[in-house]
Amino acid sequence: MTPKRKKRLYLVLLLLMGIGTAAGLALNAFEENLLFFFSPAQVMAGEAPQDKTIRVGGLVVNGSVHREEGSLAVQFDLTDQSDTMTVVYSGILPDLFREGQGIVAKGRLSGGGVFLADEVLAKHDENYMPPEVADALKTAHNKGVEGMKSGTVMQ
């Protein structure tokens, strides 16, 4: 490599490093705004702002969904496996909404740990499989759970 080209190479690398550092610092400074949602644990720890529109994300607790007869109102518990909070919502839920599903709700906190949502979005994971495989996995999982309950360890 000729000295001239070497110099240009260093300039390009320097440019990349400079921009990279700047972007890194900027993203670091905006860290909180880049979080799309808070987890129930973060809300319980008081990290989420009060009286402001925020989003919370987590899993819908099994058996916690209560619908009101004759209206769209629905109430369910949201958990991140360490903390749980109650969400109240009135409106159309996405197709993927079900118990055990990850969701993101937008709204604000009211007193008593209840979250008043005005939008509920479903989050799906990166796993894709045919229904038969999902069923087989579920059966195997249930068997394992039963095995643990009855004290025998699945081999």
Partner 1 sequence: MWLWFHKLGSPRYFYDTAGKFIPWLGGLCAVLMVWGLYGGLVQAPADYQQGDSYRIIFIHVPAAALSLSVYTFMAVCGAIALIWRMKLAEVMLISAAPVGASFTFIALVTGSLWGKPMWGTWWVWDARLTSELILLFLYLGVIALYGAIEDKRNAGRAVSVLSIVGVVNIPIIKYSVEWWNTLHQGSTILKFDTPSIDPAMRTPLIVMLLAFGLYFGAVVLMRARAEVLERERNSKWVQELVQSR
By CB under 8 A, the count of residues binding partner 1 is 42
Query: Counting contacts by CB under 8 A, is residue 8 touching partner 1?
Result: yes
What's the rounded Cα separation, in Å, for the pair 98 and 110?
A: 24
Q: Give the residue with the Cβ less far from partner 1, 137 or 145.
A: 137
Residue type, 67: R
Examine residue 19 and tell whether it contacts partner 1 (CB under 8 A).
Answer: yes
- Rule CB under 8 A: choose which of 45, 72, 116, 134 binds partner 1: 134
Does 130 participate in binding partner 1 (rule CB under 8 A)?
Answer: yes
| C-beta of 93 vs 109, nearer to partner 1 | 93
Contact between residue 122 and residue 102 where contact means Cβ atoms under 8 Å apart: yes
Residues 105 and 121: their CA atoms lie apart, in Å, by 6
Binds partner 1 by CB under 8 A, chosen from 35, 41, 44, 65: 35
C-beta neighbour count of 62 within 10 angstroms = 11
Is position 37 an interface residue for partner 1 (rule: CB under 8 A)?
yes
H/E stretch holding 146 reads: helix 131-149
Q: Are 108 and 53 in contact (CB under 8 A)?
A: yes
C-alpha pair distances (Å), 81 with each of 4, 15, 85, 89? 59, 44, 11, 21
We find the least distance from the C-beta atom of residue 93 to partner 1, in angstroms, to be 7
Nearer to partner 1, 35 or 65 (CB): 35
Based on the shown chain and the rule CB under 8 A, indicate whether residue 45 belongs to the binding site for partner 1: no
Q: Does 28 bind partner 1 (CB under 8 A)?
A: no
96 binds partner 1 (CB under 8 A): yes
